[in-house]
Amino acid sequence: MEHGRILWENIKYFFLHGIAENYITLILQFILIALVYYYMFKVLKDNKASKFIAVIVFVVLLCGVAFAFSDFDNCVLFLIIIMISVLIFTMFHSEIKRSLLDSNSRHVGALTVSGVQLIITETIRAVQNMSKKDIGALIVLSNNNLPEGIIQSGTIVNADITSQMIEAVFYPKAPLHDGAMIIEGNKIYAAGCFLPVAQSDNLPKDMGSRHRAALGVTSVASVTAIVVSEETGIISVVKNGAVVKRYADASDLKNALSEYYWSDLTAEGK
């Protein structure tokens, strides 16, 4: 009964005093919140996050009921802050997730110049050999900044990086060939890993599941992916959720691998 009386008094005050005395402010607030609502729903729809709309409507209604039983004067501002927060998260969720993962990453131990050069040479040889044979492959260069679920979906290998080892993992009859290989520093850390798949309708028809997986994982983590197409043998380099180099040759692969090792790992003997 007490809650009902408070609600009735608030409604009565709103119509008898609130609208009469502050109608200009209320009209401006209504226009502002309507514009924010419209833009928020448009962004959610464009980002294929329509499922959040029902949640937001529920939260707004819940806040409205709560404010009806209270004397809180800044409810409109509070609702706008909630909606703007949702907009920011929706528009930049990939960057936010990538930053959080990077903050927990560790760099693998120091490598010698000769060691890095040998790893780069062996990786390029393996990728080019698989390209010539139309053997599909997906290699992810990571600094332990991948979601733990990705690593757990595969098999821990912890093997030295050699062309023979890379090709053996992606041999079509090998049990791990369908998943992604995770390289961390001077080790093949895991293989057969399943990656988040990008849901894009704008990819060329000759880009299959490996390219979608490469786009997906590079969207959520600061990693570089090297893809060999099983259908065409084309080599692609993927970063930041985009194919940065298609038809990659030995020079392109060397640049991608060198950027990974010389930028992200500590090399000794320079």
pLDDT in tens, 108-157: 455 678 888 999 999 999 999 999 999 999 999 998 778 888 999 999 99
DSSP 14: I
Lowest mean pLDDT among 77-86, 137-146, 187-196: 77-86
Q: What percent of the chain has pLDDT over 90?
A: 39
Note whether 34 and 81 are within 8 A (CB): no
Phi-psi region of 235 (alpha: psi -120 to 50; beta: other; left: phi over 0): beta
Q: Which domains does the chain have, with CATH numbers?
A: 2-103 (no CATH), 111-268 (3.40.1700.10)
The overall pTM is greater than 0.85: no
Cross-strand bridge partners of residue 123:
none
What CA–CA distance (Å, rounded) separates 263 from 185?
12
Record the tokens describing residue 39, joined without a space. Answer: 């833009």
Higher pLDDT, 106 or 111: 111
Tens digits of residue pLDDT in 209-230:
899 999 999 988 889 999 999 9
Record the tokens describing residue 55, joined without a space. Answer: 């949640």
Ordered DSSP codes for 29-91: HHHHHHHHHHHHHHHHHHTT-THHHHHHHHHHHHHHHHHHTS--S-HHHHHHHHHHHHHHHHH
Record the tokens describing residue 37, joined without a space. Answer: 């609502």
Note whether 51 and 99 are within 8 A (CB): no
Phi-psi region of 48 (alpha: psi -120 to 50; beta: other; left: phi over 0): left
Q: Say which amino acid occupies 72.
A: F
β-pairing, 187-193 vs 235-239, is unpaired
